[in-house]
Structure 1
Amino acid sequence: MRRAPYPLILVVLAALLLLAATAGVAAGSVGLPFGEVWSILLHRLRLPLGEPTWPAVRETIVMDVRLPRVLLCAVVGAGLSVCGMALQALVRNPLADPMLLGVSSGGTVGAVAVMVLNLSVFGALTLPLAAFAGALLALFLVYGLARAGGRMTTIRLVLAGVATAEVLSAVASFLIVTSNDPHKADSALRWMLGGLAGTTWDLLWIPAAAVLLGTAVLLGVSRPLNLLLAGEEAAAALGLDVHRFRGAMFVLVALMIGAIVAVSGSIGFVGLMLPHMVRLLVGADHRRALPAAALMGAAFLIAADLAARSLIAPEEIPIGILTAVTGGPFFLWLMRRKAAR
């Protein structure tokens, strides 16, 4: 089947992202027309569009309540999608995903420990640093278990990831159950299910910087990532120090996941589904696939968050539940497809 031109695909994905973002800002207990949303945004950019005709409270809703949340959704979705694509290349396994490999669970343990134990060693950076450390340790643990005793296989990697994720989830649950502060325990439990409620502009800059810089670095190493798809031996024969490169990329991915988990909780399967969809559209070359993955992941998570806010409004479904409902069947289909091959 012939693919559409790459620039056209990027334009379509960017248009979908803008549409999803506009819908995410417009929808809520106070519905806003799409045109008014853009009028408010352009007015804030100091563009000469005449005098505002909307109530001041609507501008507050758009700029201080909904826009930060939508932007954080885009950052988290893009980051998870890009990290999933990178992990699948690094371990040469199409089933790799930050949650399936225990990376998200490791970040969750670090973040929950900070929340429940009320730690503040590094001030506002304590939570992101703890999430990063947990994600990095979990990733190296899973990789070491999968490599132990011989060649790493798909089954061994998935089993090591699932087992590690379950143990780490149990540790996080233990920290919550034994907490002396019921309010903090309840907040940590809801946070573990994934969600972006209460997002402010202050929460946005750390994950945004981590995802932007991390994606830029991954784009810069697209060629080594492409080499790994051909196998470790072939990559080493072409001059790539596989172990050093893989270790450096593990640290980078853990940094991105830690920054994401610190603000969104554990959101699974985004890093599994989106890379496969992107490869169907643009192929496996990371120079083309990573930008497309970032755009598609951002649009997908904004749409998922919109559904989480709307399905049982005024109550809100944790977004991690929705991504699991869609991602679980996709994972089973992918395993069956791989087994058939």
Structure 2
Amino acid sequence: MHTIHFHKGRGTGSNVGSRFDAFTREALAPEQQDWPGDDTDGGDEPARPKTVLVQRLARSIISRNQSPDIGFEQSINPYQGCEHGCVYCYARPTHSYLGLSPGLDFETQIFAKTNAAALLRAELAKPSYTPALIVLGANTDPYQPIERKLGLTRAVLEVLAECQVPVGIITKNALVTRDLDILGPMAAKGLVHVCISLTTLDPALARKLDPRASAPASRLQAMQTLAQAGIPVAVFASPMIPAINDTELEKILQAAALAGARYASYVLLRLPLEVRDLFVQWLEQHFPLRAAHVMHRVQEMRGGRDYDPHFATRMKGQGLFAELLARRFQIALKRYGLQKLPQAVDLSQFRPPQVNAAQSDLF
């Protein structure tokens, strides 16, 4: 059995093998790692191993969703992989399709779709394009640290603003406030809302749960800044993890409401595919005395299993604990004057972009 090395600023110390690969990858021992040249967004010291950025040309940019329990049909992810390093991230298994590990590879090998804005412009210009709400951050965070340097998300927003496409943003990074000059005018037309994911108010726990995301106080400040600019803000108290952060649900919603959030949502911890083993390793590292209890509670909410993939129950769970959490959420909504995100969006303002011949050649 190999020793797992947890590095400061990283969510996992394991490089579990891709389910599409016959080989298992192991993290290098600490003395073999390189120090990264990038900065952490939350102000922590640099952490090993080094982040590797791969710039690539994507073939398509708008993903279509058919899941009935997700409230949008179209999404854009300018980045594959996410440096925030949240161990529970349900998107980790997508790195398996690249032949990489959902573990350390997911948070250290980041793929940037450098032609994202050009592809989007071409897609929106097609006569066959059907306008819909487009969500940024449905899979990986569009404002993860590398966005500060590359600006791919900002370029995508510029196209969406030009074409007056309604957009929802999901992020854990206060960097979203950089784009107030774009988001403000879109909000005035009812074309944007921003969802800030806030898992905990405890900075120490946040450094374990979301190692390279903005600190909780910074996320609350971002909510306030956005709200004061007239941008509708939602708080995602997600994921709720039994015996780890579930007791904070009401405090998170209250703090977000005081910061100016108008909407709220939550999702129960999900452990699909390789995420389950990574999360158990994380528990045993950070909460060894609680690990068995946490997993027992997870199984209570998932019909006796570690993960329930069914659309009807995968987001909120089932059983007494899940029902109690749902009831607490409803009570907190009323107490703090929050609402669920509205489903209807205004698609009437959409206008296709002008694409000239020089822009048509994307590759």
Tell me, yes or no, whether TM beats 0.5: no
Length-normalised TM-score, structure 2 = 0.22
Length-normalised TM-score, structure 1 = 0.23
Which is bigger in relative contact order (C-alpha 8 A, separation at least 6)?
1
More strand by share: 2
More helix by share: 1
